[in-house]
Amino acid sequence: MICMIDSPSVRLLLNLCVSQCSKLFDLADLSHSALEKPVPLPHVSPSFRTNNLEDRYAPPPCRSAVPSVDSSSTPNLIDQLDKVVEIADIPELADDTVELVTPENGSQAVDQFSKTAVAFFGDVLLHVGKKDRKKVHARLRAMKISFHDDDTTEEFVAGPFSLLGCELICREESTITIRLNERETTKSVVFTSENDAETWILLLGECWLSEYELLRSSVQDVKACGTFWLRQGATSDWMYAAAGLQGRTMFYVLLDSPDYIYELDVRKILLLRERVDKTEWCPKCKKKDQKGPFLISLEGCALYLECCDDLGTTKWFSAIQDALAMAPAVLEDFRLTADNIPILVDKCIRFVAAYGIRSEGIYRRNGKISEAKDIYKRLTEDPVKTHIAVGGEETVYAVADVLRQFFRRLKSPLFPPTLHKQIFNLVEARTTADNAIRYQEYRHVLQQMPLVHYHTLRKLIAHLSEMVKYQDVNKASVENVAKVFGPSLFEINDDESNCYKDTAGQIGAIIDLINGYDVIFEVTSREEICRAMVEQAQISKATNPHIARADGLLVPIHVWERENRPFNVKIDLAAEEVCRKAVARRGFDAPQDGNYAIFEVILSGTLSRRLPPFEKLSVSVLDHWLPWQCTDGYLLFDHDNWPYDGNEVDFYTGKVKIAEPGSKTFHSYDVSVEGGIKITAYKHDKLWKEWVVADSVFYSGCSPNRKAPNAHNVTILDKKTVSMTDKLIGYCVSFRLMPERTRFLNMIQFIETAVAKILVMFRTLLPSVRAARLLSTESVASSSFTEEKPLKKIGRALETYIKLSREHVSMMARERADFELGRRHLANMMNMDPHTMTQEDIDTAISYLFPSGLFDLKARPVMRPPDEIMPKFHRFEFDEEGRPKDSRFFTLRPAFYKLLSDIGIKTRTVTSFYNDHLSAGSKGTEIQSINTSGTQWLSREKLEKKLDEKITEEMVSDAGTGKFDIDGVDLPDFRHLIAREILLAPMLVAGLLGRVDVKAKAVGSGGITALPRAVRHGTALGIAALYPEKMEPLRLESTEYLQKR
């Protein structure tokens, strides 16, 4: 029997005996004479490096050399997929013919094969059903695979199955999956080969690739191959494609234009998303229970991939995911940016350039070992999702350590050993040759480096050349930097006699590369523009040192999905304002009048909450994420498929299943709304649990570790006790249908927005409580002097209260954020964990870092939570009908307060008549009399007797004019400036300058500041007595104001 394999990747001629047809000779034992001339692998042509110098750091796609295709027929998508999806080079095929040797005929010339002829046999385990396995004998020949009981029988256990038109062939460890053509009765074949799995996938792939010549010439070692529907970008059409996955590269051909082969570099994938919105699904695949395509996100573009069934889509997703998870062995295996630079190197360089370019001893001073290990581990495990955060001043040194360790740990150095001798010769020639000539030689030598090595070196040298410009500040001279990176980038010679010589050459090479960077690497016009912009910004900052900083924190808003076109907004904006900004942004590709909302997403994307239109983003960031220690939360702008309508709210009441915090078990309960402010759950007509809406947060979805009985769930979190470190957080409420959950969430939003409409609700209820009277300091004072209607008075007072309440809540939120920021700074300075830092630790840190030398505890600097320092705000509650529960607004004695109001009105009338009488007497005019019916007029003596107290003669004015009378001396008469400053200090602190008068009489004598200090003490006591709210500012300003000395 003859087994012939004719392929650019494998060209073998095997002579097998019939008696041993079930055994294939080990491919590694074949002599070199049995192999034909090897086919060249895809490579970057030398002309590319010489003809495309301007964009050397970002190589464009290369046109495949197919004689039958005209250059004008290149698809337009090539320009859109630049840098990440390239058109692959096609290796030239060998023209040798293959001779088929048979036992009967010595040698016989045959025609050149047009397709692959493969035969292979072996024992495998055939998967029957989900769990059963059956040992069978598999045979691959004539483009068909069949399964038999043993190697002697010709009866089929399964098959034969044709490999022509297969939708998928893939391997997972030792298991082979074949998704057959739609015309086959059996849709898929799965079998396991313990020893020959690699050979099986190789030969099966060769059979399938024989239908696609371009793929066959490019794919060397197939791991998965098949056909699928592909969309290149969010706006292009779906196209049918054939692809083969080889290592970390996927080659594919669009069958509508089969003359071009595309190369997708898996290392440059930024995100794999298994589920996408239904609007992105392929219209060609409309099977029942279809899960849709998955998304491959790259820098600047996205690919959507979907097979005709979920099995193929899932297998392709797993194959690409496994390729991403492969452990890197050499530099080329690491995850790359679009510019062919390892993401780890790129992120470290960017971080050091942003935060450490002026740090003294950078790259020579070591950072924290534990922090460097943690950063290195996270960057190697998942460099795309790892974001380096500034944890303190030492973080930048730890990141610099990570960059050095990365180059030291490479199995092969950044400079290939084959180029060391040429580079060292150029270093030695620095005394005899001109630098311009040597830099040109450096350029030619470095262009022989592998692509990833070259771009990584270019990025590193560009960074170091920028770093040495600040050597006066960071002490990073060219020699110092070269001593650090020279040994790390070269392979050190084991020969001790040449060790020092090689080290000197390594350091000299780095010095030459830094000094001659612009010539050796040929700086592009884009880099020059960037340099000019940075220099202009630095000059502008130097000439305008007092540029106002942007007030408020910024938070990113992600569009449609995470890490997709995010933009920053201020944290104090409301959700509806952010929606308007997102719609107005340039490039918005959706209807302007659609239903959109801002969603708060936490817990790895499993929980989401639609923000009410009036809610500010600070609620999510400061009130939720910060106290909950939530590290993966983000805000998402997306379609609102179930918009809230306050006019069509139906309060939900029904049976649901609920799981408690920390539990996976669900039980049935009856849920309803009580009092319009809380949700209650009953078990057998007994109250089991109640949630106050104001104290809880309601998210759609459930924890990933919970297996909810239904697909529509809501998780209820307590604002005060929740912690993201718990595995099963919150109460999980499971609804049977989506409309039920929608009604429940709309009801929650209706309750949350009811407070904003409380004023309208309150005014509609006033006709039934007209006898009620407002009891508050402001309203009583105003009722004595104005004739407003009671309805207007109540509405105005309540409106003022709500305004002040909102201002107080906003103020406390800002103060809490400042307190948390200050605590983090203190923790960084004291090398402590901010999450475990107690108030005692804060007091110790302040006394250590800011020694005051004062003995009085109240005079020392403090930092405490704002709830302990700021004045308390008196709050009241609302009942079920919207009435405020507070004695300041209502009274059970309306007749008494009606009398007080009447007295105030009549007193004002008499006072006005008296003033008019005085003015009329001086002018000689007559005034009309007033009606005094219903009143009784008493003389002073009778009134004192009736009140049983003496009426005072003193007049008290409401406010002064800012005059000072100290023993008959006015403020300007004090000669010394320090005396005038002491007198004015309490007025300035309390904000009463020009509003009150100060009259003082001093007893005794003293120095130039004794009298002013005594008057200051008396003035502060008077202000504290008249204005109690001013006492705390006076005490915080200085203890001398209120205490005797």
pLDDT of residue 357: 87
Rounded Cα gap, residues 487 and 494, in angstroms: 13
| Band (348; pLDDT cuts 50, 70, 90) | very high
718 touches 698 (CB < 8 A): no
Instruction: Tell me what the pLDDT averaged over the chain comes to.
Output: 76
For residue 207, give the nearest of 233, 193, 191, 226 by alpha carbon. 226
Do 717 and 697 meet the contact criterion of CB atoms below 8 Å apart?
yes
Residue 933 has pLDDT above 80, yes or no: no
Q: Mutual orientation of helices 343-355 and 369-381 as an angle, nearest 10°?
A: 140
Cα 982 to Cα 1019: distance, rounded to the nearest angstrom: 11
Answer for the pair 21, 153: CB distance below 8 angstroms, yes or no: no
Nearest to 701 by CA among 729, 678, 677, 725: 729
List of domains in the chain: 343-542 (1.10.555.10), 574-639 (no CATH), 646-756 (2.30.29.30), 777-885 (no CATH), 964-1037 (no CATH)
Q: For residue 881, report the phi and psi dihedrals to the nearest 5 degrees.
A: -95, 5
Closest by CA to 534, choosing from 586, 470, 473, is 470
Instruction: Give me the phi and psi of 1036, to 5 degrees please.
Output: -70, -30
Confidence at residue 873, expressed as pLDDT on a 0 to 100 scale: 72
Q: How far apart are CA 119 and CA 142, in angstroms?
A: 7
| Among the ranges given (49-63, 288-302, 932-946), the one the predictor scored with the smallest mean pLDDT | 49-63
Mean pLDDT of 1006-1010: 79
Spatial contact of 859 and 1039, defined as CB atoms under 8 Å apart: yes
Closest-CA residue to 301 (of 385, 247, 241, 235): 235
Say which range, 80-94, 247-261, 691-705, 832-846, has the weakest mean pLDDT.
80-94
Tell me the pLDDT tens digit for each residue of 756-771.
445 444 444 444 333 3
Q: What pLDDT sits at residue 878?
A: 64
Vertex 942: Cα angle to 940 and 946 (nearest 5): 115
**DSSP-derived 3-state class of residue 1035:** helix
pLDDT digits (tens, 9 = 90+) for 83-131: 555 555 554 443 333 333 333 333 333 333 444 567 788 888 898 877 7
β partners of residue 671: 654, 681
Neighbouring-strand partners of residue 146: 139
pLDDT for residue 733 is more than 90: yes
pLDDT digits (tens, 9 = 90+) for 554-609: 889 988 887 777 888 988 889 989 998 888 887 777 777 788 999 999 988 889 99
Cβ contacts of 145-150, under 8 Å, gap ≥ 24? 145/178, 145/189, 145/204, 147/191
User: Are 272 and 294 contacting, i.e. CB atoms less than 8 angstroms apart?
Assistant: yes
Bridge partner residues of 555 (DSSP): 569
Per DSSP, the three-state class of 363 is coil
- Tell me the percentage of the chain whose pLDDT exceeds 70: 77
Average pLDDT, stretch 778-789? 41
Q: With contact defined as beta carbons under 8 Å apart, do 837 and 825 qualify? A: no
pLDDT digits (tens, 9 = 90+) for 370-411: 999 999 999 988 888 888 888 888 899 999 999 999 998 888
The mean pLDDT of 417-421, rounded to a whole number, is 89
CA–CA separation, 1021 vs 1026, rounded Å? 9
- Which spans in 634-789 are helix H? 738-754, 758-765, 777-785
Residue 497 has pLDDT above 60, yes or no: no
Residue 971 has pLDDT above 80, yes or no: yes
Contact (Cβ atoms closer than 8 angstroms) between residue 198 and residue 24: no
| Consecutive H or E run containing 503 | helix 496-515
What confidence category does residue 1039 fall into, taking pLDDT thresholds of 50, 70 and 90?
Answer: low
Highest mean pLDDT among 25-39, 335-349, 736-750, 858-872: 335-349
Answer whether 345's CB lies under 8 Å from 463's CB: no
User: Under a CB-based contact definition with an 8 Å cutoff, are residues 83 and 299 in contact?
Assistant: yes
